[in-house]
Amino acid sequence: MKKYIIGLMVLLMVGISGLSAISLDEANRILATVDTSRNFSGIDFSAVMTMISEDQDTGVEKKKVQQFRRDDSDMFLMLFIEPASEKGQGYLNIGENLWFYDPQSRKFNHTSMKDSFGGTDAKNSDFGSSSIADDYKVVAVKEGKLGRYDVYIMDLEGTNSEVTYPTVKIWITSNNNLILKSEDFSATGRLMRTSLFPSYANVGGKYLATKMIFKDELIEGKKTQITVTDISTKDLPDSIFTKSYVERVNR
């Protein structure tokens, strides 16, 4: 009898657990809402980003960047304001083309979304429009906690060769589908980077991470913290997203 009761309790617990779990299809639908909530569809966006990078070898470095985005056209421009030695350098993305501009050589060179942004622990892909639902699929999902937040913990697998990391694990709030944490892995399953997004701002009905922390998991003590300020959704001139504009502001 005792064995029967224990067995029944286990079955009930499994049943309850199964009812609270979400399917992979539902998880992928949630993933799509992440893009919807983070992309500035129909409006332009600009802000200033302050980046503090820490490295045991090079010490602490501060960079300040002016950011412009037009997500509907898949365009962004990132111009360095500080330090003086990097002022005028910039990243211009138009569709599938990403260029880095060096004011000293006055040349634009093609670069990749997978590359480091300005020598920090952030990647170029961290600053464009979000396409996580197009680039990844959910292969496993469970419910859990991250601090005081109820979250969905999802294992993602890249769907194309253009993704910065082939596999990713993310923690998404279950009430409003915001990414609080991600772990980025190499093709061999090695943890390469941990990213934290502890604060968000509601900007015109969209959610923008106003604080980001990128931790290099291969080099102890190496990380970059980014704070976003001076947020605006005012219309931007078309000329901003051109090579001639980048050259002009450096004259």
* Cα–Cα distance measured from residue 182 to residue 165, given in angstroms and rounded to the nearest whole number: 11
**20, pLDDT greater than 80:** no
pTM (two decimals)? 0.88
pLDDT at 242 exceeding the cut of 80: yes
The residue that leads in pLDDT, 18 or 76, is: 76
Could you tell me how many residues make up the chain?
A: 251
Looking at residue 147, what is its pLDDT? Answer: 93
Q: Please tell me the CATH code under which domain 22-248 is placed.
A: 2.50.20.10
Cα–Cα distance between 118 and 53 in angstroms, integer?
11
199 close to 182: Cβ distance less than 8 angstroms? no
Judge whether residue 12 has pLDDT over 90.
no
**Quick one: average pLDDT of 19-34?**
86
pLDDT, average across residues 96-111:
95
CA distance 106 to 189: 40
Cis upstream peptide for 83 (omega within 30°): yes
Q: What are 192-228's pLDDT values in tens digits?
A: 999 999 999 999 889 999 999 999 999 999 999 999 9
Break the chain into its structural domains and give their ranges.
22-248
CA 238, 45, 89, 123 torsion-angle sign:
negative
Lowest mean pLDDT among 14-23, 42-51, 61-70, 108-117: 14-23
CA distance 128 to 71: 7
